[in-house]
Structures are given as structure tokens and as C-alpha cells.
Amino acid sequence: MASASSQEASAPASNRSPVLITLVAWLVPGGGHFLLRRRGRAALIFACVLVTFVVGILMRGPMFEPHGGDLLTTLIQWGGFVGDLASGLFYLLTVWLGYAPPDTAGHVHDYGSKLIVAAGLLNILAMVDAWEIAKGEKG
Amino acid sequence: MKLNLTHFEVSILFALVTSVMLGLVTKKTDRERVRYGIQCFAYFIVALFGIGWAMHFLHG
């Protein structure tokens, strides 16, 4: 016999499509959780992704661009680009507003670039969580 | 405005936000989330100092 908590976890948390929830979670970090009425978690996710992204920008970290070369360069550039893009509107707005610092040598720019990617990777964790909650696989 | 954080400061920031996020997405109750977040942060710090000292001795 299933317990009340497992029955609760197996029921979809929202009538909205999990795909829509995940799309919102990508565009606005924490947005998926917000739609799923997990407001506190949504605020924390938004804050974590925002702080990481903004510190990366303030350190003048360059964005990755999806171009090829040898195998390692292609993996790094495309992997970094996907990580950047995963921040959703933060990334899109930043690029549309013309943020494009040159990829110069220096540890500060390098850490900034990695923080921007880290912000996107954190948002991917949140997107997966929102997907699972929307599917009723998690509470 | 430009930030010039050191490797250590960036590592602490990364450890903090990642621990919060891991706590949020992996556990079911708020109590478990806080506990797991603190645990992850402690592991990050131990790894940070451990690897730092290891590199110090390996590089000489």
C-alpha cells in the first residue's frame, strides 16, 4: 500500500505541461518552481543563478562562442556555449545589450567566464527539478 | 565597476551557491535541504583546502 507522501509525489503538481514549466524554468531561473507554487525555492534558485551570473559579468568573463576547431576546442567552445545559454534570459539580455568583452589572458576574466557557465549549469539542475515536480515524480 | 576576486573567493562563492542549489533540488523537506546544503558546503571547503595543500606540497 502506497503511503500518503508517495501518492502525493506521484500526482502531477500542476495542470500545466511539464515542457512549458521547463521552458519557463530555462528562461527565468526559478520560474518553473514559481509556477509550481514552490515560491521559496524559486526565489533561492533565482538568487543563486543571478548572483553567479552577475559576478561572472562583473569580472568581465567572455562568453563562449559555438565555433569549431580541433576536437578539444570544439568540446570546450560548444560545452561552454550551452552552459552560457542555459542561464536563459540573463544570457540573452546580456548578449542583446551588447556585452562582448574580448577573450584576453588573465585569471580574473577566466574565473568570470567559468562563473557564467556555472550559473547556467545551476539553472539546468533547477530545470530538471522543475520537470520532475511537474511530472509528479517529486514533491 | 569591475570585480577582481581571487581564486579563493571565487571558489567560496561557487561552493556556496552550488551547495544551496544541491540542497534545494535533492532533498524533500526543508530540514533535510538545510542539512544537506551545509554538508555539501563543508565538503567543498575541505576539498578546497585539501587540494590546495596537496598542490602546495606537490609543487614544492
DSSP labels, B4-49: ---HHHHHHHHHHHHHHHHHHHH-SSHHHHHHHHHHHHHHHHHHHH
Looking at the complex, report in whole angstroms how far the Cα of residue A57 sits from the nearest Cα belonging to chain B.
9
Residues of A in contact with B7 (CB under 8 A): 107, 111
Q: How many domains does chain A have?
A: 1
Query: Taking chain A, what is the end-to-end CA distance rounded to the nearest angstrom?
Result: 19
CA angle A85, B26, A89 (to 5 degrees): 20
Distance from CA of B2 to the nearest CA of A (A): 5
Q: Is it the case that residue A6 has pLDDT exceeding 60?
A: no
Buried/exposed B16-49: b ≥16 CB within 10 Å, e otherwise: bbbbbbbbbbeeeeeeebeebbeebbeebeeebe
Asked if residues B18 and A52 have their Cβ atoms less than 8 Å apart, the reply is: no
Is A76 part of any domain? Answer: yes
Position A7 in a domain: no
Does the pTM exceed 0.90?
A: no
In a domain, A11, yes or no: no
Find the CB nearest A126 among B2, B14, B25. Answer: B25
What b/e sequence results for A25-41 when a residue is b if at least 16 CB atoms lie within 10 Å of its CB, and e otherwise? bbebbbbbbbbbebeeb
pLDDT of residue B1: 81
What pLDDT was estimated at residue A105? 84
Q: Average pLDDT, stretch A76-90?
A: 95
Q: Which residues of B touch A36 (CB under 8 A)?
A: none
- Of the residues B21, B28, B40, the best mutation for testing chain A's interface (the one with the most A CB atoms within 10 Å of its CB) is B21
The conformation of residue A28, written as its DSSP 8-state character, comes to: S
Min distance B57 CA to chain A CA atoms (Å): 22
Q: Answer for the pair A76, A55: CB distance below 8 angstroms, yes or no.
A: no
Does some domain include residue A109? yes
- A44–B17 C-beta distance less than 8 A: no
Average pLDDT of the residues in B27-53: 95
Whether A4 is covered by a domain: the verdict is no
Domain that holds residue A123: 17-135
Q: Which residues in chain B have their CB less than 8 angstroms from residue A43's CB?
A: none
The pLDDT, as a whole number, for residue A13 is 62
For the cut 50, the answer to whether the pLDDT of residue A122 exceeds it is yes
- Whether A84 is in a domain gets the answer yes
Averaged confidence pLDDT in chain A:
89
Q: At what angle do helices A107-134 and A89-96 cross, to 10 degrees?
A: 140
Among residues A35, A30, A39, the alpha carbon closest in space to that of A17 is found at A35
What does the pLDDT average to over A81-85? 96
Q: Within a domain: residue A2?
A: no
Q: Is residue A119 part of a domain?
A: yes
Report the half-sphere exposure of A131 (CA within 13 A, side-chain side).
10
Cβ distance A125 to B20 less than 8 Å, yes or no, reads: no
